[in-house]
Amino acid sequence: MAQRAAIVTGASSGIGLAIAEVLGAEGYALTVAARRPEKLDEAAQGLRDKGFAVEHVAGALGDEAGVKAVVAAHRERYGRLDVLVNNAGVGIGAPVAEIDTKKLDMQLDLNLRSIILFYRETVDLLRTAAKEDGTALVVNTASIAGKRGQPWLSVYSATKGAVINFTEAMHKELSSEGIKSTALCPGFVDTPMTTFVKGQVPAEEMITPADIGEAVRLLLRLSPACIIPEIQFIRPGE
């Protein structure tokens, strides 16, 4: 049985993989999840090659069944949960008159609904960890777009704003039990998700996934008496 364990969604690349690497290095056994099996297989093997204990589950994380499958696999493998990282997300741009209903629902389901379901399905494990160790942690990846709505990314901005608000609600609901909740609000991060803007913002001028991972390392090392409810990551001059 692992002494400490974590779930990371959207962990096949980018921010999620960087956070998983930090958690593994900090001694957490991992369950990593993402939609595409081939990318997740490769990422999970890379984590195992670094000596980390890794369970991986591919599936549609916007679906309730997909969320339950990840949590069930984690329970069976490790039996405890100290850190939950809700990182899976998608952004699809369109002017308001051209918003496609299927793509609207996809963003609502993955960016917001999934986070709510993961809290619901894991809160018993988080409560147990908090009782044992004085603290448990949930990290929710939002976006700077959730602080300042963006044109053509209106649905994405709205979902990320909701993530920030839901994180605050969970802080107020659960922090007295030792369960901390933090929303991460990055600007452009050098990941496949920001390919669309790299003609205007060069990759080398973007925030790195490792920057986000190091922020999570900070959260892991805080005392039970200290909570950081939100972290913004911005580039120079913004």
d(CA 88, CA 10): 4
The domain over range 5-233 is classified in CATH as 3.30.70.2390: no
Give the Cα separation of 190 and 200 in Å (integer): 13
CA distance 91 to 63: 17
Average confidence (pLDDT) over 166-185: 98
pLDDT of residue 204: 72
pLDDT at 237 (0 to 100): 73
Mean pLDDT, range 31-44, rounded to an integer: 97
> What average pLDDT is seen over the chain?
94
- Whether the per-residue pLDDT at 17 is higher than 90: the answer is yes
What is the C-alpha to C-alpha distance for residues 120 and 220, in angstroms, rounded to an integer? 22
In this prediction, residue 198 carries a pLDDT of 61
- The pLDDT assigned to 205 comes to 73
Q: What is the pLDDT of residue 189?
A: 83
Q: Give which of 161, 163, 179, 159 is closest to 171, Cα–Cα.
A: 179
pLDDT reported for residue 199? 64
Rounded mean pLDDT, 204-215: 90
What is the pTM (predicted TM-score) of this model? 0.95
Of 28, 78, 119, 156, the active-site residue reads: 156
Over the stretch 64-120, which tens digit does the pLDDT of each residue have?
Answer: 999 999 999 999 999 999 999 999 999 999 999 999 999 999 999 999 999 999 999
130, pLDDT greater than 70: yes
At residue 197, the pLDDT reads 66
Q: Taking 70 as the threshold, does the pLDDT of residue 156 lie above it?
A: yes
Mean pLDDT of 22-45: 97
**Local confidence band at 195 (pLDDT 50, 70, 90 cut-offs):** low
Whether the predicted pLDDT of 62 surpasses 80: yes
Return the pLDDT at 38.
96
Residue 78: active-site member: no
Name residues whose C-beta falls within 8 Å of residue 88's C-beta, 6 or more positions apart in sequence.
9, 10, 16, 33, 34, 35, 61, 110, 114
Q: Tell whether the model's pLDDT for residue 154 goes beyond 80.
A: yes
Give the per-residue pLDDT at 194: 65
The number of residues in the chain equals: 238
Evaluate if residue 202 carries a pLDDT over 90: no
What pLDDT score does 144 carry?
94
- Mean pLDDT along residues 24-49: 98
